[in-house]
Amino acid sequence: MVELRVTPRPLEVAAELIAAALQRVGPGARLGIPGGSALGALRLVRESLRPELWASLRLTWIDERLVPMSDAASNRGDAFRGGALSKEQPVGSMLPLVLDGESAAAAVERASAAFARDFGGALDVAVLGLGEDGHVASLFPGHAVLASAGLVSSLADSPKPPGGRVTLTLPVLARPAVQRIIVAMGAGKRDALGRLLAGDPAIPAARLGPVLVVTDQQLDSTKAKETP
């Protein structure tokens, strides 16, 4: 099931929905965050969420590129550079999927163990971007990584550069209890949004289960709810 929110303020509306979901969970909520433009919503969440709830969050990434944090392609680096995360307002705990200088195999082993231990192998809230090809996290259409059964997996041949990535797997992101919020902005996402609404199983986004999608794109759909 896809619930669609169409709004000229996608980041603000997404931030309100993310904050509400975290508040429902309460202290110690487990949050997965993406890279890219959807990160702008997290900065607004940090500014609006009760300080004690923010300070108790268990936070990790939906996926990360296998690059140093200082690299412009680093999702973790981008979160700090863009103000979504701040050293002055830290969360309760943070689990990077990739550490500087770490091999893909070492990252998967470390992150899998920590995710199982510190997150119970699950998320409460997952914030996701949407690729123009319908990918989420680093789960690309037709790629072997979709069949990964563990908690964390890696790929060396991402169709979108950089090729080396570490990602949470489809079984983690598709768990029924996860509140999934997709932020999809720009005309380039219209085709993927249409395929998602149609339930096209060829795109990973359609294999997640129920999702709440916030977009600035008007689509012909009875599932759409306009939000000012």
- pLDDT per residue as tens digits for the range 216-228: 998 865 455 556 6
Cα–Cα distance for residue pair 156/37, rounded to 1 Å: 23
Evaluate if residue 155 carries a pLDDT over 60: yes
Cα–Cα distance for residue pair 132/190, rounded to 1 Å: 8
DSSP β-bridge partners for residue 31:
59, 125
Burial of 123 per CB tally in 10 Å (0-12, 13-18, 19+): buried
Residue among 50, 54, 59, 62 nearest 31 (CA): 59
- Tell me the pLDDT tens digit for each residue of 90-120: 999 999 999 999 999 999 999 999 999 999 9
- Tell me the pLDDT tens digit for each residue of 26-51: 999 999 999 988 888 999 999 899 99
Residue 222 is predicted with a pLDDT of: 46
Amino acid, single-letter form, for residue 134: G
Residue 223 is predicted with a pLDDT of: 54
| Contact call for residues 204 and 141 (beta carbons, < 8 A) | yes
- Tell me the pLDDT tens digit for each residue of 121-151: 999 999 999 999 999 999 999 999 999 999 9
Q: What is the dihedral of CA 153, 159, 163, 165, to 10 degrees?
A: -30
Task: Tell me: cis bond preceding 162? Omega within 30 of 0 counts.
Answer: yes
